[in-house]
């Protein structure tokens, strides 16, 4: 059974196939054509981390596909009282057609998928955020920047950075990551991406200089410096990330037609300036909307695979 846990599990062809489905469904949605791709199917949505975009996009998405979303907060189900993930998986997957999980450690999603009778989607973990990267690349395709793509990622070596590594190494584009010292991407993830890059031809550069990462890039992207669960580190992180803000001076180093992406929520004047996020170069709200369409692509693709 196929799950959508991390982009490393997918080939270039499969990723592009999902995005092709997503683009087709987006056009239909814009034309107010809602086809029942998944009629009367139920998506169980388990949230151990709070969310805006993930909940709204998945709940709206499954509804527009002809199904229904079931919101399951960890505070409202036995998982929050210590029930083993394996037991929760066996029970829930016997009653729904697909499951999305937004949680902390990736191992929790992997364990759920191991015991699940239905496809499982990673809505976010501390290690990966694959659905976000599909929305990002969909936005890049729409901006016609997917040819000769050079992405400059500036900021924390977190789940977004990990996912950019996986996407670049699978699709074969150039990715430059710049993080402050002490906030680098996990070496195991980098090593894995480098192995995939040998096949795809991706060029991956890891460093600590944001200027070098942005210079000549076609897409500039970042993420919050203080993710959920890191609030106690806020003051230290703000100090450590000094010089990593994406402002107009930083954007001027990129190519003239370069765009800015951010998965949101964005903390203005920290990782990105007000001027940049509100500029014509910013595609962050198109990117946010594309979470809806990209995830519909994932659900439809998984459903088709499950029925084979």
Which CATH number does the domain housing residue 36 bear? 3.40.50.1370
Q: Which two tokens stand for residue 163?
A: 């996912």
For residue 64, being part of any structural domain is answered with yes
124: left (phi over 0), alpha (psi -120 to 50) or beta: left
Residue 17 near residue 301 (C-beta atoms within 8 A): yes
Both tokens of residue 146? 């997917």
**Active-site pick, 156, 291, 293, 303:** 291
Residue 141 annotated in active site: no
pLDDT band at residue 50 under the 50/70/90 scheme: confident
Does 204 share its domain with 89?
no
In a domain, 180, yes or no: yes
According to DSSP, residue 209 is labeled -
Q: Are residues 33 and 124 in the same domain?
A: yes
Residues 255 and 303 in one domain: no
* Strand bridging mode 150-154 / 120-124: unpaired
Q: Annotated catalytic, 2?
A: no
Rounded alpha-carbon distances, angstroms, from residue 17 to 35, 117, 300: 19, 24, 11
120-124 and 98-102 strand pairing? parallel
Which pLDDT score is estimated for 120? Answer: 98
Same domain? 150 vs 278: yes
Is the separation of the CB atoms in 102 and 46 below 8 Å? yes
Q: Is 2 inside a domain boundary?
A: no
Give the least confident one: 18-27, 124-133, 201-210, 218-227.
218-227
In a domain, 219, yes or no: yes
Q: How far apart are the first and last CA of the chain?
A: 10
Contact 154, 222 (CB under 8 A): yes
Q: Is residue 135 part of a domain?
A: no
**Residue 174 and residue 202: Cα distance in Å, rounded?**
6
Tell me, yes or no, whether 184 and 157 share the same domain. yes
Alpha-carbon span 32 to 34, nearest angstrom: 6
Whether residue 234 is predicted with pLDDT greater than 90 in this model: the reply is no
The one catalytic residue among 64, 127, 132, 141: 132
Which range of residues forms the domain containing residue 256? 144-282
Q: Which of 263, 293, 295, 303 is catalytic?
A: 263
> Annotated catalytic residue: which of 97, 136, 146, 223?
223
Domain assignment present for residue 136? The answer is no
Provide the token pair at 235: 């003051």
Count of domains forming the chain: 2
Query: Residue 3 catalytic?
Result: no
Same domain, 105 and 154: no
Q: Are 152 and 271 in a shared domain?
A: yes
Looking at every residue in the chain, the average pLDDT score rounds to 96
Residue 41 a catalytic site member:
no
Q: Give the CA-trace dihedral at 110, 184, 180, 197, to 10 degrees.
A: -100
Residue 53 annotated to the active site: no
Instruction: Let me know if residue 253 belongs to a domain.
Output: yes
**pLDDT of 247-271, one tens digit each?**
999 999 999 999 999 999 999 999 9
Whether residue 129 lies in the annotated active site: yes
Banded model confidence at residue 229, pLDDT cuts 50, 70, 90: low
Residue 239: the pLDDT is 94
Residue 216 lies in a domain: yes
**From 102, 108, 237, 262, active-site residue:** 102
pLDDT digits (tens, 9 = 90+) for 94-133: 999 999 999 999 999 999 999 999 999 999 999 999 999 9
172 and 12 in contact (C-beta within 8 Å)? Answer: yes
Q: Give me the pLDDT at residue 298, please.
A: 98
Rounded distance, CA 40 to CA 270, Å?
A: 44
Kindly name the residue from 129, 176, 262, 293 that is annotated as catalytic. 129
Residue environment code for 61-75, b if the CB has 16+ CB neighbours within 10 A, otherwise e: bbebbebebbebebe
How many residues make up the chain in this entry?
A: 308
């Amino acid at each position: 059974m196929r799950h959508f846990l991390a982009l490393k599990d997918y080939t270039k062809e499969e990723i592009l196939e999902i995005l092709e489905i997503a683009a087709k469904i987006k056009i239909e949605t814009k034309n107010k054509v809602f086809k029942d791709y998944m009629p009367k199917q139920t998506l169980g949505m388990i949230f151990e981390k709070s969310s805006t975009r993930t909940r709204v996009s998945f709940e709206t998405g499954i509804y527009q596909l002809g199904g229904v979303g079931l919101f399951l907060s960890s505070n409202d189900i036995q998982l929050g009282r210590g029930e083993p993930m394996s037991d929760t998986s066996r029970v829930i997957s016997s009653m729904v057609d697909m499951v999305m999980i937004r949680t902390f450690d990736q191992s929790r999603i992997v364990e759920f998928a191991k015991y699940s009778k239905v496809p499982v989607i990673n809505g976010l973990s501390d290690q990966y955020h694959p659905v976000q990267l599909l929305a990002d690349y969909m936005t890049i395709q729409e901006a016609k920047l997917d040819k000769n793509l050079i992405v400059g990622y500036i900021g924390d070596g977190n789940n977004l950075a990990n996912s950019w590594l996986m996407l670049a190494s699978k699709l074969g584009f150039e990715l430059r990551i710049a993080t402050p010292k002490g906030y680098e991407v996990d070496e195991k993830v980098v090593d894995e991406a480098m192995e995939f890059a040998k096949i795809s031809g991706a060029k991956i550069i890891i460093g600590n200089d944001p200027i070098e990462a942005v210079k000549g890039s076609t897409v500039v992207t970042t993420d919050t410096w203080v993710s959920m669960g890191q609030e106690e580190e806020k003051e230290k992180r703000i100090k450590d990330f000094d010089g990593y803000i994406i402002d107009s001076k930083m954007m001027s180093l990129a190519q003239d037609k370069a765009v800015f992406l951010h998965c949101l929520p964005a903390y203005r004047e920290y990782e990105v300036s007000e001027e940049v996020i509100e500029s014509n170069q910013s595609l962050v709200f198109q990117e946010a909307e594309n979470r809806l369409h990209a995830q519909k692509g994932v659900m439809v693709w998984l459903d088709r695979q499950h029925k084979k």
